[in-house]
Homo-oligomer: A and B are copies of this chain.
Amino acid sequence: MSPFCISNDIQSSIRCSLRRLIREVFFSPVLYPPPLLQRQKGGTNTQYFVTGGAGFIGSFVVDRFAARNGVTVYDNLSTGREEFIAQHLGKPFFRFVKADLLDVARLYKEMRGHNSVWHIAANPDIRKGTESTMVDLEQNTIATYNALECARRNDVKTFVFSSTSTIYGRAKVLPTPEDYGPCLPISLYGASKLACEGLVSAYAELYGIKAWIYRFANIVGHRSTHGILYDLVQKLNKNRKVLEVLGDGRQMKSYMLVDECVDGMVYGFKHAKDRVNYFNLGAEDQITVKRIVEILLEEAHLKNVRVKYTGGESGWKGDVPRFLLSTKKMSKLGWKPKHTSQEAIREAAKIVVKEYLKKTESTWVPVVRQ
């Protein structure tokens, strides 16, 4: 046995003991009385804890609950923005905690006294995971483990998790039902979300937590900070003459507006009764990237933009070029999406143009839609 091994063993043992000590001390309920959130007049007793609550989808969840319940937003503002929850700041039934999910002692402390955890925080950028392979493991898998572990130790009763269509990988069945297998994701983002689903399922079973897993199509709309429309508008801000689009334009995916998505989540939360409830959330149809580009340019009133496709079936490594989620399970529960993918994209394009497209005098060509 080399000295290197011994030293490693000792190191590992010390690390292990220290970790245990830290966990025991920090997880002590005596140190952390439940944070106080006042109950609203006519409100409910439920205290919601929303991770990523200052983010794109999370902030809509917060808007939905903040009217009648206590809400704590836990967000490190890595992609979330304080302005998305500005309307609630300072209210007595609302708390904003700027902190990281990897800071497990803080997470545990802040979660005390809550009944329901909505774990929406995640690395939202699929492409980032291919460049730095640790991002999804840390920000999705380990962060979700932390959220579940703190929920268990804080005796939280319900746990809602935002998953993704990418867990199915290149599904051979379209529309893909929730019971589809095998789940062989082709991106580290998809892999990490599949890992999280497994954790949610096991925690629910082992520790009596009731869980909801929602597998989202591409979600678009207000407050979006990533995604195809956002990316394309950023490109248009730099160059109004040539618009580079990833892939061959024939990728076909399903899109849903963010408020409709949150509507579905809340409906499922109220009506689904299993120990682990898992649902797809997406429109009933698909739309091609080519059509998305057309709609965006229409809504931006931009003519004379040359669209240049980079080619290839996928937009980037790990991109699932074609997907459509079955909506039957949600239908059976009594909820249906109201908009098609095309309608969602049209609406989101209007928003993204209004919110992000710079009005450059020189290239701004107002066009009357035909």
Contact = CB atoms under 8 A, between A and B. Distances in A.
Q: Is the interface of A mostly helix, strand, loop or mixed?
A: helix
B179 A181 contact: yes
Interface string A191-218: 1101101110111011000000000000
Contacts of A194: 194-195, 197-198
Interface in A106-151: 106, 130, 133-134, 137, 141-142, 145, 149
Nearest to A2: B98
A256 to B, nearest CB: 21
Interface stretch (A182-190, A242-250, A284-292, A303-311): A182-190
Contacts of A192: 195, 198
Given A5-B98, A202-B191, A180 B183 contact: no
Interface in A341-358: none
A206 B278 contact: no
A206 B188 CA distance: 9
A80 interface: no
Contact of A179 (B8, B167, B182): B182
7 interchain residue pairs of minimum CB distance: A181-B181, A195-B195, A191-B198, A194-B198, A186-B205, A184-B201, A191-B202
A10 interface: no
A178 interface: yes
Nearest to A133: B149
A99 B202 contact: no
Most buried by B among A130, A198, A278: A198
A202 B181 contact: no
Given A184-B198, A186-B202, A187-B206, 4 more contacts: A178-B182, A181-B181, A186-B201, A195-B199
Interface string A152-177: 10000000000000010100000000
B186 A100 contact: no
A12 B106 CA distance: 14
A66 interface: no
Nearest to A97: B5
Contacts of A318: 202, 205-206
Nearest to A148: B133
